[in-house]
Structure 1
Amino acid sequence: MSQHKTLAADLGLKVFFCHLHSPWERGTCESQNGHIRHYLPKGTDLSAVFYQQLSAYQEMLNERPRKILGWKSPAQCFQDLISSLSSN
């Protein structure tokens, strides 16, 4: 995020940063880290994990329903968004 000022100006966005050592300010990120830890425990050497296995984990995470998404998966929500944009 070293270019956050440029990004904010170009897109007309406000950029906020969480305080250090305040995981409650990063709920979505911390939740996703928890999901990832099911497959890759903390401290796992990623250089020892095959690309195909990482791709499988990625697919499982993207297909996993989330309460915050109305029990849809991130993949379903993304597909819905793409469909709505292409129909306009």
Structure 2
Amino acid sequence: PIDVQKTVVAAFRDIDANIFCEFIARPYHSWECGLNEHTNRLIKRFYPKRTDFSQVSHRKIAELEHTFNTRGRKSLGYRSPNEVFLTHLLAA
């Protein structure tokens, strides 16, 4: 008999490995993830390095998320992530 749980877990690990290969830059290769580096710099404008995020309220983090998700990005044709998401959602 086939162990379905083991098969699903194995498939998930394969998918998970492929996703991480796409989105994590190699150490000391920051040019591979310009948008990630840019976003990190933006976060540091609000919360300096070594900020203890366990002391930051969920509301403050949600406000920062809203700020970033409604801000136009060059890589998205100066549309916000929210606009792009809604466009794809309505097209589906």
Q: TM-score range by the shorter chain?
A: 0.7 to 0.9
The 3 A distance-change label for structure 1 pair 49 and 8 is closer
* Unaligned segments of structure 1, at least 5 residues: none
The 3 A distance-change label for structure 1 pair 43 and 4 is farther
Among candidates 29, 44, 47, match of residue 40 of structure 1: 47
TM-score w.r.t. structure 1 length? Answer: 0.75
Indicate the RMSD between aligned Cα atoms, in angstroms. 2.6
TM-fit CA distance, 1:26: 1.6
Match of 2:56 in 1: 49
TM-fit CA distance, 1:18: 3.2
TM-score w.r.t. structure 2 length? Answer: 0.73
* Unaligned segments of structure 2, at least 5 residues: 1-10
Larger Rg: 2
Looking at both structures, which has the greater relative contact order when contacts are Cα pairs under 8 Å and sequence separation is at least 6? 1
Match of 1:70 in 2: 77
1:29-84 Cα shifts (integer Å, max 9, x gaps): 11111121221111111011111111001001100111111111011101111011
